[in-house]
Amino acid sequence: MADLEPHPKVGQPGPVDTATGVASRIHETLRRPFTLYGTEFFITASLGVSLFPDPAEDARTLLKQADAAMYRAKQRAPGGTLLFPSGGEGGEDTASLATTLRAAVDRQDWALQYQPIVDLDTGKVVGAEALVRLRQPDGRLIPASDFIPLAEETGAIADIGDWVIASLLRQAAEWSARGLKLALSFNLSARQLWQPGALPTLLGKVSAAGVDPGSLIVEIAESTITRDPDRAQRALDQMSAAGLRLAIDDFGTGYLSLSRLRNLPVDVLKIDRRFIRNLPEDSDAASMVKAAVGLAASLSMQPLAEGIERPEQRNYLLGLKCRLGQGYLFGLPTLPEDLARFAVEEGFAPLPRR
Ligand code: C2E
Ligand code: MG
Ligand code: MG
């Protein structure tokens, strides 16, 4: 058993020995291979233990602490058991986030915000990116960056993704019926993309909603593609053949080869905001952005700059002939009714095709 804290009263079986004895029997049972549809499987478990009444004084705390210990076990001793308190920074924070996430999955308590994508030259809104938020019971919205990595790790991303797609398709149908024709982009993470049956399910939902697939842009991070380029290529080809448009997100942060990039059916190359942040002063960032814009143009893709916050950045990008952008300079991610109002006030136009 990995990393178990020693029991203070050595020599006599106490609650720690009892709990860890149960944990080791669970490990032992799970360690035995089992056969499913003729294939042999092995599984392991990471277990977290906490005790009542010390340190947990009530059932809620007991669960929270066991959750914290389990999360630390997954990180520090996968396949083992950890007892709370298991030490290390952020254990409790992560555990409370895990608990918050699980509760949100149960309640389906999500919100979808939309950030405008604009034509940097005319200022018109050409689309919007859907970004999911976790809604706290007190109404606060937690941004995706705080919980998506954990949702990926725990598998909750599958549920979240289903909700996001349903909500986005409802919104797309409603806006389109009102004449508000905007390209709506949404993010698909690796785990969602590789889920068996993910693409036929997605395509079925788009068609059932009566939404034009050409009005949707699927954003796949560069790192997702580099993780398994052949598989990604097949998935992207399949989505493109079904009429969906594609964007590579966070471009510049991974190691996508040029020969691969050239063959991907991608419309939009989203240049990561860490390069935009230091424009135009930082010459390294400027050369990187210049290269990415040139690359996009030569591959007939549209460069889009993420995270534009200052007018100098927009002007610099326009000078490079980068026409598309998003960022706080134009609009924060906002609830759908505010995005619709913004698009009507600023004017909207179709996103150019590659
Ligand atoms: P992303 O797709 O690259 O989204 C852009 C992120 O940058 C968003 O953070 C957005 O709020 C933030 N942002 C936009 N403009 C600015 C700016 O001018 N300055 C700064 N500092 N930040 C800006 P958010 O919403 O927290 O999302 C983080 C990441 O989580 C996203 O990165 C995306 O990878 C992922 N994500 C968001 N929604 C979903 C979803 O529905 N499904 C999946 N699988 N992933 C999602
Ligand atoms: Mg994105
Ligand atoms: Mg991005």
**Distance from the alpha carbon of residue 304 to the mean position of ligand 3, in angstroms:** 10
At the top level of CATH, the class of 109-346 is alpha beta
pLDDT of residue 62: 87
Q: pTM of this prediction?
A: 0.79
pLDDT of residue 4: 44
pLDDT of residue 94: 57
pLDDT of residue 95: 58
pLDDT of residue 12: 58
Q: What digits encode the pLDDT tens for the residues 194-238?
A: 888 999 999 999 999 999 999 999 999 999 999 999 999 999 999
Q: Which residues of the chain have pLDDT under 50?
A: 1-11, 88-92
CA 323 vs. chain centroid, Å, equals 26
Would the CB of 164 count as within 6 Å of ligand 1? yes
Ligand 1 site-directed mutation target among 157, 168, 187, most atoms within 8 Å of CB: 187
Whole-angstrom Cα Rg for the chain: 24
pLDDT of residue 84: 80
Ligand 1 site-directed mutation target among 112, 120, 145, 167, most atoms within 8 Å of CB: 145
pLDDT of residue 89: 45
Measured over the CA atoms of residue 35, residue 37, residue 42 and residue 47, the dihedral's sign is: negative
**Distance from the alpha carbon of residue 198 to the mean position of ligand 1, in angstroms:** 22
pLDDT of residue 80: 75
Joined tokens for residue 34: 């089992």
**Distance from the alpha carbon of residue 170 to the mean position of ligand 2, in angstroms:** 20
pLDDT of residue 6: 40
Q: Write out the residue limits of the CATH 3.20.20.450 domain(s) in the chain.
A: 109-346
**Distance from the alpha carbon of residue 74 to the mean position of ligand 3, in angstroms:** 28
Residues 6+ positions from 248 with CB-CB distance below 8 Å: 219, 220, 221, 222, 225, 256, 261, 264, 266, 268, 269, 270
d(CA 131, CA 16): 44
Would the CB of 249 count as within 6 Å of ligand 1? yes
pLDDT of residue 7: 39
Q: Is the Cβ–Cβ distance between 18 and 83 less than 8 Å? A: no
Looking from the CA of residue 148, the nearest atom of ligand 1 is 30
Which of 65, 50, 60, 152 lies closest to 101 in space, CA to CA?
152
Partner residues linked to 135 by β-bridges: 141
Q: Is the Cβ–Cβ distance between 159 and 147 less than 8 Å? A: no
pLDDT of residue 222: 96
pLDDT of residue 339: 97
| Total residue length of the chain | 354
**Distance from the alpha carbon of residue 308 to the mean position of ligand 3, in angstroms:** 12
* Ligand 1 atom 17: residue of nearest CA: 307
Which of 75, 78, 100, 105 lies closest to 89 in space, CA to CA?
75
Residues 6+ positions from 5 with CB-CB distance below 8 Å: 16, 82, 83, 86
Joined tokens for residue 240: 């493109």
